[in-house]
Structure 1
Amino acid sequence: MRNKKIKIKPIRIKATFIIYLLVFLLLSVQLFRRMVIQGEFLGNKAERQFINEAKISPKRGSILDRNGRELAVSADVYKVNLDLLAMQEYCVRYKRTKEEVSEEISEALSIDNNKVISMLDKTDNNGRLLRGMTLERKIEKDKIDKLREIRKTKRYNFMIIENDSTRLYPNNNFLAHALGIVDLEGEGVFGLEKYYDKELMGLSGIRIAELDKNASELPYEDVVYTEAVNGKDVILTIDENIQYIAQTIADKALKDTKAKGVTIIVTNPRNGEVLAMVNKPDFNLNDPRMGIVDNERLQQLWRNKAVNDVFEPGSTFKITTISAALEEKVTFVNDDFYCNGFTIVNGTKLKCWKETGHGAEKLIDILENSCNPGFIELGRRIGQERLNKYIYDFGFGKPSGIDLTGEASGIIKPTDQMTDLDLATISFGQTDAASPIQILAALNTIMNDGIYSTPHLMKEIVGADKNGGITVSKPYEEKNQRQVISKVTSNSVAKMLEETVSKGSGKQAYIEGLGIAGKTGTAQKAKIGGKGYVEGKYIASFIGAAPYDNPKISVFVSIDEPEGEHFGGVIASPVAKELFQQIFNQMAINPVKQ
């Protein structure tokens, strides 16, 4: 039987060819899309599935006082992030419910299970489950150990455990406004923590390891590890003992005067080092919000009034006027003045605090008596342009450069806008406004042979070298030092300020043998957003340094809105006296017997 030939129709061949061709084209398109168009995306996705990448947080540097005592430190803790998409995939694969998983997590961390459950469906703006949601922070090691055991045994690889740190302040409210605080991310919010944030923070490290199909690390593979660089330590000029004295005295002054607030600053007048800085009331650095919900009230609590607030300084400003007058030689030590209780300037009657007048006076008398008419006369002789030159040279009207956040510039009447009446009021401490640190810096200039030095709190920044040894990374560098008045003028004013304390308006700050030089001030509080002054609201103040001929410390004291007595010579001077007494006892400097 002859074999029958199978006849294949050409149309079938063509159809088969076309089908194979289409399949080939589709596969080619898919390969092109996957390998070229989506290659990078899919490669990264695959890499993420088989790579475990963990951030290693650096340890924030410490803040210490000048003697190495810890004021702010960081402790090692942990944080837990959840990959919610991976968690969803895990639950589907192993037939677990999110409620079951969350219960184990919450039990290990000792947190409310409802809180955990409420976070497990969180999505991004595109509706996708979050891949790195922070579940809990500041977790202690014992809890993390429990969580790590669960992660290992249950294969909870959607849990990401990272190093974290928490900021601790061993002395609670000690130096609160100057130190400042950090946020949950460990970044400075205000104060020294903010100002030196870059130095304190350090650099993060990273750990990268390969995973197997079960998301467990491959033991034979190399781990890529970049060590974190810890932050540097900031050593302050602050003396813990002097700070403690200042805080104790400020607390007592606040209670005794029933005032709205008390501010005390202690510095070394020779170099501008801040030895203590206090604002009362203050707050606990370990609980800075203190339960306060209102943000405006909270910001007021956190304001460092020593540098952030300004006020019309009153008679403490007279040290600038008398220095300018002596330097410009428009007055001299034996110059004669007369006070009948007031002076009329452009039809406005400007009163002396002693309405009956002081009568005939010498230059030293108008300072000792804090006589307004005498200083109005000095201002008239100096003139607008020259007086403003000295005001700016003494550091008013611009930030002092102190290493704290939010420093106020102050308010100085421009020379071309200054009337004769303005000149008169400015000369005895009204119209212009200054911060406490600016006022103290001006006194320091007089006590430092006429040389201005920038007030500062950083003494040096130190870090560890490669061998673990301590090296000084950055010592403090003076940037604004300048000669404002001559040494002769400054010494003359310093001696007159000593007599102002020993014989004049500041005598309640006098301590025999200490040679305290100082000036009192009583300032009316200006109306906010309007002209004039608030009835019955005052700031009583005192500035001083000792010993006047070789000063070791200088102080600023202000008492804001005291009840009852409000004169600086009556309520601020005794506070300064107690400060000098206790600080000199601490420094083991005894009064010189006359």
Structure 2
Amino acid sequence: MRRPPKESAESARIIGRRALVVGALQLGLAGSLLMRMRSMQLEQAEQFRLLADENRINVHLLPPARGLIFDRNGVLLAGNEQYYRVTMTREDAGDVETVLRRLSKLVPMTEEEIQDAMKEVSERSRFVPVTIVDRLSWEDISRVTVNAPALPGITAEVGLSRFYPQGADMAHVVGYVGPVSDYDLSRTEDRDPLLQIPKFQIGKTGAENKMEQTLRGSAGTLHVEVNALGRVMRELDRQEGEPGADIQLTIDSKLQTYVEARLEGESAGAVVIDLEKGDLRAVVSAPSFDPNLFVRGISVKDWTDLNENPYRPLAAKAVQGIYPPGSTFKMMTALAAIEEGVLDPEETIYCRGYTEVSGTRFHCWKTAGHGNVNLHDSLKHSCDCYYYEVGQRIGIDKISEMAQRFGIGVRHDLPLSAVAEGLAPTKEWKRRVRGEDWRIGDTVNASIGQGDVLASPLQLAVMAARLATGRNITPRLVHTVDGVEQGADADQPIGVNENSLRRIRAAMDAVSNNNRGTAYGSRISEVSMRLAGKTGTSQVRRITAEERARGVTSNADLPWERRDHALFVSFAPVENPRFACAIVVEHGGGGSSTAAPIARDIMLQALYDGPPPLEAYPSNVRNRIEEQQKRIENRIAPGAYPTSDRA
């Protein structure tokens, strides 16, 4: 059947339009192909000629600059320094051993280092650069660069490494960095590709470790073109990473250095807190160590010396060490009893030199006893029997509740390694941990800070700060991160009757400033700077009845490790407190004879923001103090701590 002429004409027109569209598309595609061919043959000819010569594009991660750490005054505590290193990429190297042997003729490498490098290269992905040698001189790196064609897979680079200008003085606070290890990777869920770079430095201890994410920054990338011999032909693209944030700590490095020097020869921990915002002005553990040793690779000898030292220089005693607080804990027992209404501060309790409980004698430090004493005198003379009685009245749970309110048995949230929780024991704790019932004798021991009670110097400093202010002072170590202030909220009231706190403060004032107080010999003579404190001596051994019968052996006649710990907590000035301080001297003997003089010197240094006038000391010690200041002053001289910009 024939179509009408009209339909035939319409069909022809449709076919014609479709043919035009298809033709146009074909023409456009052909034109595009021609343009691309022209571009490849003329404009990109050089690039494809290089590719034809087996050139390739490599992508490298660019480690960011680690954030700097400063003290409260802008003094550099942790910085970055440039150094030269050589890396190897296995997929470009070919025969790894041959290349390493050639390299060893150009830069110092032992046979052991060659074997270690071969092992590490074989264990890493083929495309991951592995650091072979670092901390090279300019002459070494120049030889490597000149001989690059004979060293496929080898790249000479400039890197950044950490350094600590304050050395040992800040080691336990700032910490140190070291190469990332398999152990580090096994303990983290962090998938940052930077961690896969061999010998990439991460924080190992201290603030370096706890603020790793803040300090690390993020990686950049570098695209380079290399030829078949491994020579870099050109840099194609570079995207810099984000440097880590700079951190400013609350620590005063000048005061920190003074405290470290003042504790020379002791195994001790000391903490100074600014009472305005809870800023930690000094957190010192003595003796210390040089953190630069770990960054550069510590020797076997140095590691052995540190580990075998009986004074344990690697231990952060100020925050990690926990000790029986001894008589510095008596304020907690007293406050708990007063607040519960079972003790009138004016009530006297008779001390005859011992208290008998369930057939056991608990002795006072003064064999003859103190006679009738009230709260004020019990703290001034540090009478033990007074607190044996008070502790039995109030019970351990109430004592521990008060202790925790003042910061003992509480882990303070600080970016430091192994911050200890301490222990304010309860009946439930003993049943849960030891499977035993609490006994009245346990309470008697705990009432004077012995037995199961444990506290760190940090916790004791927080206790002193809260006693001084009546506020819930929270210790703060980080002042700013990239200029933004951190955690400076006002502290809330501690929730203890102010009249009770005034009585405790007055008694602590008498400890240091009454001529019968246990710390009178370590007083501050300048009235406006008067110090309030409390001595403490905690036993580390049991004194038998036989020893008491023949006379207790003095600390001086005992081996160092069997001597009592010496403690002192304080705040000053009495009328308007600015600082609180706590110190523990391991096996130092008596708190009044060993710890109190050190604490007094530290407090004066903080109050005067430098060496105090000799008139601030009692006249009978001024000659000794003058000599002491001369020994220390070179370590804290003005201008000794230059600041530094980011490397």
State if a TM-score over 0.5 links the two structures: yes
Q: CA deviation at 1:316?
A: 0.7
Match of 2:573 in 1: 547
Aligned partner of 1:585 among 602, 608, 615: 608
Return the letter of the residue paired with 2:145.
R
After TM superposition, the structure 1 = structure 2 runs for residues 548-587 of structure 1, keeping only pairs within 5 Å, are 548-562=574-588, 566-586=589-609
Q: Deviations over 1:211-264 (max 9, x none)?
A: 455655565xx823321111111111111221122112111xx2xxxx5x1222
**Aligned-partner Cα distance in 2 for 1:380–1:478:** 38
Match of 2:378 in 1: 366
Return the letter of the residue paired with 2:366.
K
Q: Secondary structure at the match of 1:335?
A: coil
Do the aligned partners of 2:465 and 2:579 also contact (CA within 8 Å) in 1? no
Q: CA deviation at 1:551?
A: 1.0
**Aligned-partner Cα distance in 2 for 1:320–1:210:** 70
Instruction: Give percent identity, aligned residues only.
Output: 25
Match of 1:158 in 2: 153
Aligned partner of 2:131 among 129, 134, 153: 134
- Unmatched tracts of structure 2, length 5 or more: 1-51, 180-199, 429-436, 543-551, 618-647
Match of 1:414 in 2: 426
1:264 aligns with 2:270: yes
Q: CA deviation at 1:484?
A: 4.1
Do the aligned partners of 1:311 and 1:435 also contact (CA within 8 Å) in 2? yes
Match of 1:438 in 2: 459
**Aligned-partner Cα distance in 2 for 1:52–1:128:** 14
Q: Deviations over 1:316-367 (max 9, x none)?
A: 1112112223333333342222111111112211111011111112220011
CA 481–588 in structure 1, closer or farther in 2 if over 3 Å, else same: farther
Match of 1:494 in 2: 505
Return the letter of the residue paired with 1:52.
N
**Aligned-partner Cα distance in 2 for 1:478–1:303:** 31
- Unmatched tracts of structure 1, length 5 or more: 1-45, 92-96, 463-471, 528-532
Q: CA deviation at 1:445?
A: 0.7
Match of 1:51 in 2: 57
After TM superposition, the structure 1 = structure 2 runs for residues 66-465 of structure 1, keeping only pairs within 5 Å, are 66-84=72-90, 86-88=92-94, 98=98, 102-103=101-102, 105-106=103-104, 108-109=106-107, 111-112=108-109, 114=111, 118=115, 122=119, 132-140=129-137, 143-151=140-148, 154=149, 156-184=151-179, 185-211=200-226, 215=230, 223-251=236-264, 254=265, 259=266, 261-288=267-294, 289=298, 291-294=301-304, 297=308, 300-416=312-428, 417-431=437-451, 432-449=453-470, 451-462=471-482
CA 358–189 in structure 1, closer or farther in 2 if over 3 Å, else same: same
Do the aligned partners of 1:176 and 1:284 also contact (CA within 8 Å) in 2? yes
Do the aligned partners of 2:511 and 2:534 also contact (CA within 8 Å) in 1? yes
Do the aligned partners of 2:249 and 2:477 also contact (CA within 8 Å) in 1? yes
Q: CA deviation at 1:150?
A: 2.6
Q: Secondary structure at the match of 2:94?
A: helix
TM-score by length of 1: 0.78
Q: Deviations over 1:52-105 (max 9, x none)?
A: 11221111111111000001111122432223453336x9xxxxx937x744x3
**Aligned-partner Cα distance in 1 for 2:531–2:357:** 35
Q: CA deviation at 1:155?
A: 6.0
CA 575–213 in structure 1, closer or farther in 2 if over 3 Å, else same: closer
Q: Secondary structure at the match of 1:183?
A: strand
CA 354–238 in structure 1, closer or farther in 2 if over 3 Å, else same: same
CA 487–126 in structure 1, closer or farther in 2 if over 3 Å, else same: closer
Q: CA deviation at 1:408?
A: 1.4
TM-score by length of 2: 0.72
CA 481–402 in structure 1, closer or farther in 2 if over 3 Å, else same: farther
CA 137–145 in structure 1, closer or farther in 2 if over 3 Å, else same: same
CA 494–200 in structure 1, closer or farther in 2 if over 3 Å, else same: same
Match of 1:505 in 2: 518
Q: CA deviation at 1:392?
A: 1.9
Do the aligned partners of 1:410 and 1:433 also contact (CA within 8 Å) in 2? yes
Q: Secondary structure at the match of 1:556?
A: strand
CA 122–241 in structure 1, closer or farther in 2 if over 3 Å, else same: closer
CA 239–121 in structure 1, closer or farther in 2 if over 3 Å, else same: closer
Q: Deviations over 1:429-485 (max 9, x none)?
A: 112111111111111111122x222223211111xxxxxxxxx34523559866242
Match of 2:494 in 1: 483
Do the aligned partners of 1:320 and 1:442 also contact (CA within 8 Å) in 2? no
Match of 1:31 in 2: none
Q: Deviations over 1:161-183 (max 9, x none)?
A: 44532111112211221221110
CA 143–379 in structure 1, closer or farther in 2 if over 3 Å, else same: same
Worse-matched range after superposition: 495-504 or 141-150: 141-150
Return the letter of the residue paired with 1:192.
A
CA-atom RMSD, angstroms? 3.4
**Aligned-partner Cα distance in 2 for 1:583–1:480:** 22
CA 233–140 in structure 1, closer or farther in 2 if over 3 Å, else same: farther
Q: Secondary structure at the match of 2:606?
A: helix
Count of residues in correspondence between the two structures: 511
**Aligned-partner Cα distance in 2 for 1:331–1:115:** 72
**Aligned-partner Cα distance in 1 for 2:134–2:585:** 41
Return the letter of the residue paired with 2:522.
A
Return the letter of the residue paired with 1:324.
A
Q: Which has the higher helix share?
A: 2
CA 376–217 in structure 1, closer or farther in 2 if over 3 Å, else same: same
**Aligned-partner Cα distance in 2 for 1:592–1:134:** 57
